[in-house]
Chains A and B, each alone.
Chain A
């Protein structure tokens, strides 16, 4: 369907501003091929001059039918597919899936595997937040942070590459633990990285936190209240920036997160600036977790006793983790065979994107870009 008007059938439009100019309302398409939509997202905007009256997302351009694929693969074969959903946080995706299947099998990964998982997942959270910061700042007009964040992100990707051979779609974990033991010097590399990176995060902050243009472009933009977040099911840094102290790593700890001390940063105003501050602090907290994990990493096996052919007993399981974008859940139904009967992925980006309409109403067109950036969506995960 090419007529954008067809998509606006249910947008309730706010009161039109009475101005002395008789301006007409305008409907325009933003995307799907637009650099600031971070992939193939099409937003149909209803505008009164520069003011946004309503927005509707048209998604599905990247739909690959991951859930249908899952029904036609074995549990093990489906594991690499999950990396392709949120491809900037592939390790988190793998962790969620592996833990869900482990729960269904009623087995637990050994302590050492859990620690390796935590280290890699938190490093992945850093890469995800760095990529978000670089691109988000670029969208708003600050070019320098992109180079800084990509420079530091590279160091993490090198660790991934040395660990499992892949940089982005890592397939780092297996059902029951990890396939690879850490390479010689893994701890040294990770320690070196976490020693070096805090001043670099300060550097990002120096560029932006008190930068007048940045503050003007983000403060008060795309506000969302805690109540709206809960009603819309918005999770992750967006929810926390609205003042809700909720993080699955604390609320319902998984992997080895209950062993570590860390804080959950929260914001006050729920605007783009607060979400920026929350994510910056989350990077520092991730470093804290990595430091504790790498210092206390236990010796021992990295794989639990897992049967060669994975055949979970009949039953259903829902398991969710705190991915960099929010709550990432897997609902798996087993019929006792080698293939899952149904796999449902609860993607944080998909649910968070739903809040876009509410967040941009009454704002300017330029703010739509800022809000899409601050929601931190990955279209691979929205469309699956």
Chain B
């Protein structure tokens, strides 16, 4: 269902077709924006639209698509008591500007997305794995990473056993 508000109208005016979609699904609003303007949109939402709390940042992998990754920010405004999701699509190997200067909380969240999907964030102060060991191979939340794969190479080298299962 299409969603319209002053916020949406503003971005429509400013970016035209850069704002791909603005919808409501099950009462939740989201915008799909072009990856080239996504960072600017986030900055404006924080500075001028009072979305001062970045609840979560995550990604979804669609291997069959040309632009394989959905990158998602879930935002909240204390002032307006309103939630908003911003979604953009990026290709495999493409990096995205870090939003650590907008919301400090994205520091660890970006590290987790990097750890799990291998998406790089330009300008992140210290982009490295967060949950997995530094020398882990591959990024587990990609769809091509099998669940029983469990990085057999790592298990073999470090634990001296054939399989982690």
Interchain CB contact under 8 A, A59 and B103: no
- Residues of chain A within 8 A (CB-CB) of B140 are 65, 68
In the bound complex, CA of A351 to CA of B111 (Å): 12
Interchain CB contact under 8 A, A318 and B130: no
A315-B25, A318-B74 given as contacts; is B134 within 8 A of A351 (CB)? no
Q: Encode A64-79 as 1/0 by CB contact (under 8 A) with B.
A: 0101110110000000
Nearest B residue (CB) for A9: B126
Contact with B103, one of A10, A69, A231 (Cβ below 8 angstroms): A231
Interchain CB contact under 8 A, B131 and A383: yes
Interchain CB contact under 8 A, B132 and A354: no
- Residues of chain B within 8 A (CB-CB) of A329 are 55-56, 74
In the bound complex, CA of A333 to CA of B54 (Å): 19
B157 at the interface (CB under 8 A from A): no
Interchain CB contact under 8 A, B130 and A59: yes
- Residues of chain B within 8 A (CB-CB) of A284 are none
Contact with B60, one of A320, A333, A354, A383 (Cβ below 8 angstroms): A333
- Residues of chain A within 8 A (CB-CB) of B130 are 59-60
B16 at the interface (CB under 8 A from A): no
Q: Encode B123-140 as 1/0 by CB contact (under 8 A) with A.
A: 001100111111100001
A1-B134, A230-B52, A317-B28 given as contacts; is B105 within 8 A of A251 (CB)? no
Interchain CB contact under 8 A, A331 and B72: yes
- Residues of chain B within 8 A (CB-CB) of A186 are none
Residue with the greatest number of chain A CB neighbours at <10 A, chosen from B60, B109, B131, B141: B131
Interchain CB contact under 8 A, A106 and B81: no
Interchain CB contact under 8 A, A232 and B104: yes
- Residues of chain A within 8 A (CB-CB) of B54 are 233
Which of A154-162, A172-180, A291-299, A342-350 is the contact stretch? A342-350
B39 at the interface (CB under 8 A from A): no
- Residues of chain B within 8 A (CB-CB) of A9 are 126
Q: Which residues 209-263 of A sit at the B interface, judged by CB distance below 8 A?
A: 228, 230-234, 244, 246, 251-252
Closest CB in chain B relative to A376 CB, distance in Å: 18
A316 at the interface (CB under 8 A from B): yes
- Residues of chain A within 8 A (CB-CB) of B28 are 317-318
B107 at the interface (CB under 8 A from A): yes
